[in-house]
Chain A
Amino acid sequence: MSTPAGWFRRVLLAAAGGLLLFAGADAQGIRISSRSRIVEPARPASQSPAGPAVEPVEPAPEERDRIAELIEQLGASRLSQRDRAMGELARYGAKALGQVREGRKNDDDEIANRCALLEEVIQSRKAELFLAARQLNLSPGELENLLAGGDVQKLLGLLKSRAQPGMSALWARVLAGLCGRNEVFPTVELCQSLEGGEGYGAALVEAAQGLKATELGGQLMQVVVWCPPLRPADALATLAWCASVQDGAVSVLVEHARALRGYYGAAELLAAARLNTGERKLSPDAAELVPAMALAAVERCTADELRAGALPPLDRMSTAVLEEYLALLVRSGLSRQLENAMVALTARGDARLLSLICAYYAQGASLADALAVFDSLPASARLAMLDSWAVLPRDARVLQPFLCGLLTRKEAWLRDGAARLLAQYRAPSTARALAQCALTTPDSAPAALRALALMAELLEPADVSALAALLPTAGHWVRPALVEVLLAGKQPAADAALDQAWKQTLPRAELLQALRFFARNRATPAGAFAASQVLLASTAGAGATLRALQQMEPADLELMRALLALPPEQGLELLRRTADDLTDPLRPTAAMALAAGGLEEDRAAEWIRRMAGEVWDPEPAGLTAALSLSNQPAAVQFRRDALKQGPESEHFGLVSMAVLMGREGITREEWLAAVLDKPELGLPSLASVFAGDLPPAAAQQLLSATLFGSGESDALHPAMLMYLRHCGLDPLAVLYGSTEKPEPRDARQILLTALLADRARAVVILKDRSPRPDGSDWQALRTAQALLGLLPAPVAGQVLNAARLAGQPVEMDGVLRRLDAGNVGALRELLDSYSPAAQVLKKSSTALVGMVRERWRTEMRIEGAAEGAFGQPEEPSDLPVRALNSRLSQPLPDEWYAWWACRRGLLEFDRAAGRFTFVELP
């Protein structure tokens, strides 16, 4: 073991930072250790490599005496004394600087040279590293090498065995060097244990101040949210300094601050809103964001806490700060403060700001108050309020009548806005009001009809007839929505109007609707064709049907038009001829149509022979879809034989299509059993899996397949996790086999154990587990502890926020817990996030602000401004809605998007029944 004398004996060597050795031997009476050597002459102190020069600080009298003694000892006869005195002087830092500078003029060259070295150390601001190196029994150069990305484990080992409290500069370098690596987390724990909460916080801030590379800023922010320091000021300072390094970090910064919500108290956070960063200043952009971060991190506060906080005055808040301020007022239920803010900002005359605050006011004030002031506000502010209610619906019993009243206003933009919102309030009175609006105000007809389409089946026959009468003369703005209403109404007058209109002319834009309409009656040739297209498109999943249908060829359109124009017998003849014509490119389409309508007669057997190669066919693969659709005995038997061969069968795809289209002969359970038996050959789509319940054994097989097969990434898909829990499987049997003492082997297994297993058993497996020294499972273990309730509540919340930010699949778990507690917002957010129309409504407050911003970015067109704010919807994932049905008063249909869209504003929680229900409006 290296002894203390060892570093008494060590020569101070130059380090990467340009530290010096003291002067070499001089012949004349200068006591210099034979062990010293020259590296390079001293640099002038003004050339500090670390920024502006350190200024001397006046020491206390007793310190001054002590410093003088130590300077004298720099010339001691023994090297150990000289070195020790150097260390003690370095510890004094700027307080010794004045006397050290004087010491450079000392007659004793040893003292003079050591003072020069000391001045260099103090000016380089690396005195603490210098001392840390001594503590770790390293030379400064060795320490620098380790910090510069040398042997991480060696460095951590040294810190673990030798570090003492008071080495925050060293920890800052270590944390900055390790951020982005898993080792940073056990290192943080070590730092916290040695330096305490405040010391760790100081090290974090210093690490952030020293960052140079932009990507490190984001990585250090991650450290802050996973391991928040004791003091909120340190958390905010670290984030702000990270932002100074990164460009365009505003939203990222606030997002990270939001992840700390609930961890710190409101009062201390708000007090930290005005950071004192000492002699180093944040960039103006970063400094401006500090109050925004503080506000974002507050869960909720009282009016007194808000008043006592170090916030800028309202009229000097930037937009970012104002947004967070208003959101906090809403979260905290401080409606009076919201009103005050409205009054103050109205006086500024800035319509954009007024819109912003009105959007929040619409949420934070009582609905009655909001409705009372509605008409007194300018147009843009009223639109903002409507936008707000579109995102976050309020009490349906109060809002729906108000909105119906807006439909009769003379301002078209008000009518359109109201109509857009009313789409969420499915009720006979809503349908009636929308129908009247469409019939009496032509310029609002498109908006009214779009909303009405979701609830057209509630219309009175008289209204339907009146709307149907509009069809022949409807212009291209009105017609698409009108067609949708008539289609959804499913009433004789509507059906007759549509049938007549499309048989006369079928516009390309209405092909999809026509297919849905005619598919209702498969006995006709046109109906059979339509049904075949809709069924085939449905195999791609509920959300994908629309896109699949949109990809139909022009030839398909022409065929549809031809079938509509012809009498049924001739249409059937056309289909049969086309299906039998080996040279016709529409042969597969026609064959499918015949099969879908049950009109193929005995062609199925012929198709089988062609597919099997017994009869030559130019394109046997083109008959696959027809054989999957056909319910003829030969086709059914063919599919059953393919099923018996399993997924290796070349025709198994045909089997899958038939099952997904609901054709005869094979149940979904039989098919899934075969698929899951050989998962390496390809898992079915999530939609097909979610379409029904799985018995636990099959669910177990599914989990095995996803864990160990080609669908590995699906295992942690939030919807899949939700589904597997719902199926009641035993994931531990899959994860660990029959081991008596299960031991997760990696981070993924830790997470799966916590997310899927029975809580009590998961706790037994994980409660005493420690993270690996390399930190590779640290985050997963921490997340698991939070999920299983093994952490105190505020800490668990913060960990789950951090996990969410890091993309871990904990969202569903949190949502399900909130659902269990009857949180209406949770169910709304869940369904929104999986449906296409509301796909872009991400987190409510973000969407709210996004809409207001977008409104001002686009030109001031009132109509569609809100839609313009939404952007392009992404392809939604599938959701196992059956897993939610036990929580609802009425089950969600499998094709639930439209069903949900028109009931979104009606959702509430019935505490007595313990279920979510939908308000029944007149």
Chain B
Amino acid sequence: MDKQGKKGGRSRPQAVVVERPCWQPAEGGAELGRALREDLRELLGSLPVLLEGAQVKDGAALASLLARAQAPLLAVFEDVAGLPLLCAEGALDSLRELPVVVGPCADGSLYALGVAQGLEPALVAELCDAACGAGALGAVTDLLADAELECTVLPPWFRVAGEGDLLFAENLARLSLLSEGGEEDFIADRLRVWLERHRAGAAEGRP
């Protein structure tokens, strides 16, 4: 209870963007990181979640946030580009039923980790450490298997860990303009601006 004697009123799920420095291209690296991060915050902020403003740099900080949380928490890593809205929405829906949600990347890392309430603090701390470390996908999978926990696996996505990933993002941005869904298929407005500025002609599909 707080000073007012009231129980916490935060029944809304929470979300946080976890720091994980992305690969830096030769030009505009810092801006790229900021663009990805702000795009993610804007996306998450549009959902019915409480977006945490606290800085989360590592597993310990994430575990600490989870310990304080009074609702399920979805952590998304900041080097993820154009996270599909459906993934985020799906993760939040799943956390109502299952204790853990995992968003895998093809390179063996995670793009998202969601944890509901009620898990043992020690397990939560281990999951957070694993998710923020090397070989996160494997480590988290091992932990979940050992604990015999059910979880939801989100569709695979990617993070910007190299030139190839950035090119992938760029092409997804271009494709989204041609698709029926338009920009909704790849929500990354600031990334588009960055691409326009630093990869001339590429994002708009112009020669």
Contact = CB atoms under 8 A, between A and B. Distances in A.
A194 B89 contact: no
Interface stretch (A158-166, A622-630, A745-753, A833-841): A158-166
Interface stretch (A289-297, A637-645, A696-704, A789-797): A789-797
A5 interface: yes
A3 B6 contact: no
B187 A4 contact: yes
Interface stretch (A78-86, A208-216, A518-526): A78-86
Contacts of A80: 183, 189
A5 B184 contact: yes
B46 A4 contact: yes
A194 B51 CA distance: 10
Contacts of B196: 76
Interface stretch (B8-16, B105-113, B145-153): B8-16
Nearest to B10: A193
Contact of A192 (B4, B53, B192, B193): B4
Contacts of A78: 183, 189, 192
B184 A164 contact: no
Contacts, number: 69
Contacts of B25: none
B81 to A, nearest CB: 15
Question: Among B4, B42, B50, which residue has the most Cβ atoms of chain A within 10 A?
Answer: B4
A161 B5 contact: no
B189 A1 contact: no
A135 B1 CA distance: 29
A791 B193 contact: no
B5 A84 contact: no
B9 A192 contact: yes
Contacts of A791: 5
A808 B33 CA distance: 57
Nearest to A1: B89
A1 B9 CA distance: 24
Contact of B42 (A4, A137, A165): A4
Contacts of A63: none
B85 interface: yes
A738 B3 CA distance: 37
A8 interface: yes
B19 interface: no
A334 interface: no
A76 B51 contact: no
Given A193-B10, A792-B3, A84 B183 contact: no
A795 B2 CA distance: 10
Contacts of B2: 192, 197
Interface in B181-207: 182-184, 187, 189-190, 192-193, 196, 204
Contact of A189 (B6, B45, B184): B6
A785 interface: yes
B43 interface: yes
Interface string A1-19: 1011101100000000000
Contact of B48 (A161, A790, A792): A161
A3 B85 contact: yes
Contacts of B184: 3, 5
A317 interface: no
A189 B4 CA distance: 10
Interface residues of A, number: 34
B5 A164 contact: no
A831 interface: no
A161 B12 contact: yes
B1 to A, nearest CB: 8
B204 A194 contact: no
A193 B9 contact: yes
A746 to B, nearest CB: 22
B12 A160 contact: yes
Nearest to A166: B53
B18 to A, nearest CB: 18
Contact of A8 (B6, B53, B189, B193): B189
B80 to A, nearest CB: 15
Contacts of A710: none
B53 A165 contact: yes
A796 B6 CA distance: 12
A160 B51 CA distance: 13
A780 to B, nearest CB: 16
A786 to B, nearest CB: 9
Interface residues of B, number: 30
Contact of B3 (A160, A189, A795): A795
Contacts of A137: 46
Nearest to B34: A66
Contacts of A570: none
A898 interface: no
Interface in B73-103: 85, 89
A792 B2 CA distance: 9
B192 A3 contact: no
B41 to A, nearest CB: 10
A4 B45 CA distance: 9
A76 B46 contact: no
Interface in A748-797: 785, 790-792, 795-796
Contacts of B3: 197, 230, 792, 795
A67 interface: no
B5 A792 contact: yes
Given A5-B183, A135-B45, A164-B50, A81 B189 contact: yes
A4 B50 contact: no
Contacts of A1: 89
Interface in A512-559: none
A197 B4 CA distance: 10
A785 B5 contact: yes
Interface string A171-214: 00000000000000000011011100100000000000000000
A694 interface: no
A282 interface: no
Interface in A49-86: 73, 76-78, 80-81, 84
A545 B33 CA distance: 87
A143 interface: no
B50 A194 contact: yes
A220 interface: no
Nearest to A230: B3
A785 B4 CA distance: 11
Contacts of A790: 5
Contacts of B182: 5
B5 A4 contact: no
A4 B43 contact: yes
A194 B12 CA distance: 10
A227 interface: yes
Interface in B44-70: 45-46, 48, 50-51, 53
A85 B154 CA distance: 31
A9 to B, nearest CB: 9
Given A77-B204, A162-B48, A84 B189 contact: yes
For the complex of A and B, the 7 pairs showing the least CB-CB separation, nearest first, are: A193-B9, A791-B5, A4-B46, A161-B48, A5-B184, A795-B5, A84-B189
Given A76-B193, A790-B5, 5 more contacts: A5-B183, A78-B183, A165-B50, A189-B6, A792-B3
20 contacts: A3-B85, A3-B184, A4-B46, A5-B187, A76-B193, A78-B183, A81-B189, A81-B193, A84-B190, A135-B45, A161-B48, A164-B50, A192-B6, A192-B9, A193-B8, A194-B10, A227-B4, A792-B5, A795-B4, A795-B5
Interface of B: 1-6, 8-10, 12, 42-43, 45-46, 48, 50-51, 53, 85, 89, 182-184, 187, 189-190, 192-193, 196, 204
